[in-house]
Structure 1
């Protein structure tokens, strides 16, 4: 009942102030999941757009560097009510309202083809130099070990930089989504002809669920409820598969 009341309140607010029921979110260039020049602006954006459309809302997404995308969603003075796609993190959950899952992606490591890394638990990776992308959430266990200084990581500004550092031997491993890795090898000019030099490690970190993080306000909660209802009306897997 509370969810229904929140939705009704939001619909009343939007009808009075609205841009024709427009929902505004921030995102980043993270193909094939999100990107300004991708078809439907990427797989995750296509899912979000379809879910909102199923509830009678139009989604508009603006793209920024990741840290900026998150800070704009936090800013109560901005026109954005959330950001995506994001992995689940307890720290983030204390600041934002997570949507229901809107798909998933295989998270693991890229490695040199000539120097594969065999590991069973994260502690096995202590001898290796591991690349991460600045301000990205990985997994709770991995990020905790990094914070404790038990894993040696280097942060860069993009997955592309990490791929190049692995290929050039400056890193042993780098955290990356497998779909992102394949997309970059297929499309990035700086990586053309280099796909044979690096592979995706056989062991996954996790098959990570993807979410929208909504601002932790009454309006954010109401929009999250609308989005979650919209997700139930669409075929998430079919939309994701079409755009990956």
Structure 2
């Protein structure tokens, strides 16, 4: 009897040690950072997965259009929305520690570059933005006040094509995303558009943690995990392996 109890206890212990916590997140097609068709889900996913793996947690990623991803990430079954800028941490979400950084600016026609010193100089121009993107606080304030006129689309790729077709004067975009698009999805119009010479800002990329997520230690878990990895090295290794 005692021997059977010991065997049962050992089996239960082994099952417990094999059980691994899993986080599910909602993401979007935002190359090269995230995308269902990208190797390993993209650079951003590789970074987040490495941080969680360092803490013994598996990651499941579901890809949706951005607005749909925001809706899905509110479900308590999801750890959150990723990646997100500071300005995209909406009610019901909490900021995670910074996972990586990215520069933002404008894509413009090569034949008609945007000339500006401060964002107010763009008055009278029509700038493309993606629905529900946070952009920057200053830029969004100028939109709200009517200084900057915008047209809203559902993806960065649409904006690049609208700029190339001369339908808008420029578009707000992550510059690494633009570089990827011009070498891949939008390479047919790469001769017509370019990145504006000025960088608007360098943005922190975070996991927008679902406030209803069951693991209330998500922030500290990510903080520990990030401290154990080297995001810059992960990015460089990914580029060497997949983006030659």
TM-score normalised by the chain length of structure 2: 0.86
Matches of residues 29-178 of structure 1 in structure 2 within 5 Å?
29-76=29-76, 79-89=77-87, 92=89, 94-178=91-175
Shift of 1:20: 2.5
TM-score normalised by the chain length of structure 1: 0.86
Flag structure 2 segments of 5+ consecutive residues without an equivalent.
Answer: 1-14, 240-244
Distance of 1:30 and 1:123 partners within structure 2: 28
Match of 1:7 in 2: none
Flag structure 1 segments of 5+ consecutive residues without an equivalent.
Answer: 1-14
1:32–1:243 Cα contact (<8 Å) kept:
no
Distance of 1:193 and 1:61 partners within structure 2: 30
User: Which one has the largest radius of gyration?
Assistant: 2
Aligned equivalent of 1:194, options 185, 189, 194: 189
SS of 1:67's equivalent in the other structure is helix
Distance of 2:53 and 2:170 partners within structure 1: 40
Aligned equivalent of 1:214, options 198, 209, 213: 209
1:87–1:210 Cα contact (<8 Å) kept:
yes
2:124–2:147 Cα contact (<8 Å) kept:
no
2:43–2:238 Cα contact (<8 Å) kept:
yes
Aligned equivalent of 2:230, options 209, 227, 235: 235
1:34–1:45 Cα contact (<8 Å) kept:
yes
- With over 3 angstroms needed to count, the CA separation of the structure-2 counterparts of 1:81 and 1:120, relative to structure 1, is same
How many aligned positions are there?
224
SS of 2:191's equivalent in the other structure is helix
RMSD: 1.9
Match of 2:5 in 1: none
CA-to-aligned-CA distance 1:66-120 (integer Å, 9 cap, x gap): 11111111133xx21201100002x725531111111111100000111111111
Shift of 1:217: 3.9
User: Of the two structures, which has the highest relative contact order with CA contacts closer than 8 Å and spacing of 6 or more?
Assistant: 1
Distance of 1:180 and 1:218 partners within structure 2: 29
